[in-house]
Amino acid sequence: VKNEKRVTIWEVAKLANVSAGTVSRFLNGIVLKPSTEKRVREAISQTGYQKNITARTLRTGHSKSIGIILPEWKSYYSMSVIEAFESVVFPKGYALIVSSYSDFSEQLSNMLLRNIDGVLCIPPSGIDDVARAVIKECGEKGVPAVIINEYFERCEADFVMIDNAGSSMRAVEYGIHQGHTDIAIINGLQTDYVSRERHHGYREALNLYDLGITDEYEKYGLYSAEGGYAAGIELLSLNKPPTAIFITNCAMAIGFFRAARELKVSIPEDVLVIAYDFDTRYEFISPNIPYVEQPLGEMGLQAAELLLRRIAGDNRKYPQNIQLKTRLIINKNMSDTVSLSSINENHELF
């Protein structure tokens, strides 16, 4: 189907009566003598010349492209980060090579064969391998990598995350301020850095207000609806069930809500749920579901700016661990807010 051959720098040069090098210099922003510049400029528009990024990449070694490794396409979380990331990186001429195929290591290799300049990794929560492998392979190739919401010590990568412990502490503190003393947690596995931090925050709040730790109020599981469902059934079936539950993951919260519906437990009347991350479903589940809001857009922006700096060779403060602040969203009147303008449609997924 290929049509005419693409016009090259050479044809422009010939038409403008200059050398190819001169055309190239013009293209790269080097100032020419006004008279030659004019001829080059005209030759370009006459021929309809368009640069060939592949050729430039081969010559210079950088491709102006960034690889993104993510666990799952259908993730509001990942896509929010990418959206913001793209907004800073695209104006600089970068293309995004995105991949989520299960065999991430093969995917990453494939990207590296394409001379990507950097990598953004959004690892699946609770699973170390992906981020570790990405960091290792990128390190060997000398390609900078930024990891979202995951952390390893002494690693050749930068990290962008939230203050997991602090935000959890504040979320539980809110529950305490609402008069609750029996506060449970439904959390990810303790093998996961993020889960451990959130657990620390939970305990810190209880300690701070001299509330004891109740072992049976601390539930762990995979960050999934099944995990939240199972934990929910257990907690709600206790002799003395908690009056408030801090659920550190969105999918788990949804699972919990299914359990609550099944057991005819009302939210927030029977139990206050404080969740993590916004979910489009909250609005239709209960008028009052406070949640910790991760600044996903801000994370994407910061990740982009940091990665761009690394690509540019700026290695100040490397490796860096950026921790962003979160808000705790309390919107008691969510279901009363009739005016649609007050509903943030950026949260719409469809």
Q: Which residues contact 3 (CB under 8 A, 6 or more apart)?
A: none
Residue with the two structure tokens 């969105």: 250
Residue of 33, 261, 281, 317 that binds DNA (CB under 7 A):
33
Residue of 59, 74, 264, 316 that binds DNA (CB under 7 A):
59
Binding-site string for its own copies from residue 310 to residue 339, where x marks contact by CB under 8 A and - marks none? x--x-x-------------------x--x-
Nearer to its own copies, 112 or 324 (CB): 112
Q: Can you read off the two tokens belonging to residue 238?
A: 């206790």
> Residue 88 corresponds to which amino acid?
V
- Contact status, residue 191 vs residue 126, Cβ threshold 8 Å: yes
Residue of 9, 148, 171, 307 that binds DNA (CB under 7 A):
9
- Cross-strand bridge partners of residue 148: 160
Q: Which does 37 bind (CB under 5 to 8 A by kind): DNA, its own copies, none?
A: DNA
Buried/exposed code over 198-230 (b: 16+ C-beta within 10 A; e: otherwise): bbebbbbbbeeeebeeeeebbbbbbbbbebbbb
Q: Is the dihedral of CA 42, 46, 48, 54 positive or negative?
A: negative
Residue of 34, 93, 179, 212 that binds its own copies (CB under 8 A):
93
d(CA 225, CA 221): 10
- Contact status, residue 271 vs residue 236, Cβ threshold 8 Å: yes
Tell me if 10 contacts its own copies by CB under 8 A: no
Q: Which residues contact 130 (CB under 8 A, 6 or more apart)?
A: 69, 71, 104, 121, 123, 124
d(CA 301, CA 87): 8
What's the min distance (Å) between Cβ of 144 and its own copies? 6
In the region spanning residues 108 to 167, those forming contacts with its own copies, defined by CB under 8 A, are: 109-115, 140-144
Tell me if 38 contacts DNA by CB under 7 A: no
Size of the site for DNA (CB under 7 A): 31
Tell me if 344 contacts its own copies by CB under 8 A: no
Tell me if 77 contacts its own copies by CB under 8 A: yes
Binding-site string for its own copies from residue 171 to residue 210, where x marks contact by CB under 8 A and - marks none? ----------------------------------------
Tell me if 27 contacts DNA by CB under 7 A: yes
Q: Which does 310 bind (CB under 5 to 8 A by kind): DNA, its own copies, none?
A: its own copies
Residue-wise DSSP of 148-188: ES---SS-SSEEEEE-HHHHHHHHHHHHHHTT---EEEEE-
Size of the site for its own copies (CB under 8 A): 78
Residue of 45, 46, 55, 314 that binds DNA (CB under 7 A):
55
Residues within the interface to DNA (CB under 7 A): 5-6, 8-10, 17-22, 24-25, 27-28, 30-33, 35-37, 49-52, 55-56, 58-60
